[in-house]
Amino acid sequence: MDLFDKCHQFVDAKEAIAAGLYPYFHELQSGQDTEVTMSNKDNVLMIGSNNYLGLTSHPRVKQAAIDAVEKYGSGCSGSRFLNGTLDLHVTLENEIARFMKKEACLLFSAGFITNLGIISAITSRGDYILCDRANHASIYDGCRLSFAKLVKYDHNDMEDLERHLDKIGKDSSKLIITDGVFSMEGDLANLPEIVKLAKKYNARIMVDDAHGIGVLGENGRGTAEYYGLEDDIDLIMGTFSKSFASLGGFMVGPELACHFVKHFSRPLIFTASMTPASAASAFAALEIIKAEPQRRRHLLEISDYFRKGLKDLGFTVMDGITPVIPVFVGDMEKTFIACKLLFDNGVYVNPVVAPAVSVDETMIRTSLTATHTFEQMDHALEIFALVGHQLDLI
């Protein structure tokens, strides 16, 4: 058997391309914005981006990146552990820790690497990880890098979580890991109940709040702030590639935990550090997040408006408050066709199909930006209505 046999046997993507239904790797000929040029098509309404606060095109954010390149150059040429720590990194860590109201912060080069780096360092053989089945792939890969025992509990099912905790017992070392905002469904973790169970069974809690920070909470500190439980969450992971309009990730928590991860995280030690431009643009975005809460308020208002509009049209849409709004289809081929028809009519969305979800739970994932207008949402709803009738989705 040849190693490349699997490559020869993989024909699904090529068949989709031949059928004109391939929805991935569209080329952008413009920056991320509410309207983009994509695959040589102008004025495409972008409702499939994680640019939640609309800061990727903000002049202050772009200028910060330019200034950082002028001062530090294009890269750091090494890991944080050795020659790759800039004063800019340390300043950003201090400001993120202060913003998140935690003792310390540690930067990573990407959000995916952040979860790999935290989980594989903080848990080890003899520990238990209790992981929501709907958690992000990076969490699961971090669990695989750890030698801890992985226990999956049903999505947001607190009875199932308690059943596993009770079986493990109070005396074992354990970490409950959950997304704060689940990236595909857009729903929130049941943090109040998770906190109660963690206290009852002597467990630590880690929240991946990549889709919550900048969006939820009075000050934008995310899901824990939204629930008023910031002091009860041990570790919070965040990313700079969404609300912060940059690239990279971070963990915040107790100083001793960040110090430990800093010295034992292979993904941190053996990866080059965040580029100067990424760190500077994230810092500028943080300042805007703190200074302009109206962005967050408008984002939630427009998300509620669009979610209600989809429901009024007759689409099956999950209840929620976040700008991640999935439209359930339940058929893979129909999902691909819907995404193509939407794009042909000038609206870009994300298909969510197996293996990300089961084959009968496929969906169209929409995600909104604070700089979207109500007029743009009305236009998107008109196109959704057109496609929905064509495919008998409504």
pLDDT digits (tens, 9 = 90+) for 152-207: 999 999 999 999 999 999 999 999 999 999 999 999 999 999 999 999 999 999 99
Selected catalytic residue, list 58, 89, 174, 242: 242
Q: Residues 105-127: pLDDT tens digits?
A: 999 999 999 999 999 999 999 99
What's the Cα-to-Cα distance from 92 to each of 225, 245, 278, 282, 350, rounded to whole Å?
Answer: 21, 15, 11, 8, 32
Is residue 262 a contact partner of residue 268, using CB atoms and an 8 Å limit?
yes
* pLDDT recorded at residue 2: 96
How large a percentage of the chain has pLDDT more than 70? Answer: 100
Determine the longest span between alpha carbons in the chain, in angstroms: 60
Q: What is the average per-residue pLDDT within 50-58?
A: 97
Is residue 52 a contact partner of residue 214, using CB atoms and an 8 Å limit?
yes
Distance, in Å, from the CA atom of 205 to the CA atom of 123, rounded to the nearest integer, reads 12
Closest CA to 132 of 157, 104, 112, 106: 157
Q: Residues 312-360: pLDDT tens digits?
A: 999 999 899 999 999 999 999 999 999 999 999 999 999 999 887 888 8
Distance, in Å, from the CA atom of 363 to the CA atom of 82, rounded to the nearest integer, reads 44
Q: What is the average per-residue pLDDT within 273-277?
A: 98
Distance, in Å, from the CA atom of 53 to the CA atom of 50, rounded to the nearest integer, reads 9
Q: Between these two residues, 62 and 356, which has the higher pLDDT value?
A: 62
Other Cβ atoms less than 10 A from the Cβ of 112: the count is 20
Told to judge if 183 belongs to the known catalytic residues of this protein, a careful annotator would answer: yes
Domain spans of the chain, in order of start = 5-56+293-390, 59-291
Q: What is the average per-residue pLDDT within 258-285?
A: 97
Distance, in Å, from the CA atom of 194 to the CA atom of 199, rounded to the nearest integer, reads 9
Told to judge if 89 belongs to the known catalytic residues of this protein, a careful annotator would answer: no
Q: In this structure, what token pair is assigned to residue 380?
A: 């998107």
Burial class (CB in 10 A: 0-12, 13-18, 19+), 10: exposed
Distance, in Å, from the CA atom of 37 to the CA atom of 49, rounded to the nearest integer, reads 14
Residues counted in the chain: 394
Residue 283 pLDDT greater than 90, yes or no: yes
Selected catalytic residue, list 183, 241, 278, 281: 183
What's the Cα-to-Cα distance from 260 to each of 86, 255, 296, rounded to whole Å?
Answer: 20, 9, 34
Q: In this structure, what token pair is assigned to residue 201?
A: 């069974």
Told to judge if 242 belongs to the known catalytic residues of this protein, a careful annotator would answer: yes
Q: Residues 256-266: pLDDT tens digits?
A: 999 999 999 99
Q: In this structure, what token pair is assigned to residue 314?
A: 């007759």
Closest CA to 213 of 238, 233, 246, 196: 238
Distance, in Å, from the CA atom of 332 to the CA atom of 337, rounded to the nearest integer, reads 9
Is residue 214 a contact partner of residue 53, using CB atoms and an 8 Å limit?
yes
Encode burial over 213-226: b for 16+ CB neighbours within 10 A, e otherwise. bbbbbeebbbbbbb
Residue 237 pLDDT greater than 90, yes or no: yes
Q: Residues 75-100: pLDDT tens digits?
A: 999 999 999 999 999 999 999 999 99
Identity at 45, one-letter amino acid code: L
Q: In this structure, what token pair is assigned to residue 287?
A: 């300042």
Distance, in Å, from the CA atom of 129 to the CA atom of 312, rounded to the nearest integer, reads 41
Instruction: Give the angle subtended at the CA of 13 by the CAs of 343 and 384, to the nearest 5°.
Output: 20
Strand partners, 376: none
Is residue 385 a contact partner of residue 347, using CB atoms and an 8 Å limit?
no
Closest CA to 46 of 359, 369, 336, 266: 369
Distance, in Å, from the CA atom of 338 to the CA atom of 390, rounded to the nearest integer, reads 9
Selected catalytic residue, list 211, 262, 298, 372: 211
Q: What is the average per-residue pLDDT within 250-259?
A: 98
Q: Residues 33-45: pLDDT tens digits?
A: 999 999 999 999 9
Strand partners, 22: none
Identity at 172, one-letter amino acid code: S
β-bridge pairing 324-328 and 350-352: unpaired
CATH homologous superfamily of 5-56+293-390 equals Aspartate Aminotransferase, domain 1 (3.90.1150.10)
Identity at 180, one-letter amino acid code: G
Residue 63 pLDDT greater than 90, yes or no: yes
Distance, in Å, from the CA atom of 11 to the CA atom of 16, rounded to the nearest integer, reads 9
* pLDDT recorded at residue 358: 82
Say what the alpha-carbon torsion angle 102, 151, 165, 139 is, to the nearest 10 degrees.
10
Distance, in Å, from the CA atom of 223 to the CA atom of 208, rounded to the nearest integer, reads 10
- Domain 59-291 belongs in CATH node 3.40.309.10: no
* pLDDT recorded at residue 78: 96
- Residue 320: helix, strand or coil by DSSP? coil
Distance, in Å, from the CA atom of 285 to the CA atom of 350, rounded to the nearest integer, reads 25
**DSSP, res 335:** H
Q: Residues 198-236: pLDDT tens digits?
A: 999 999 999 999 999 999 999 999 999 999 999 999 999
Average pLDDT of the chain to the nearest whole number: 97
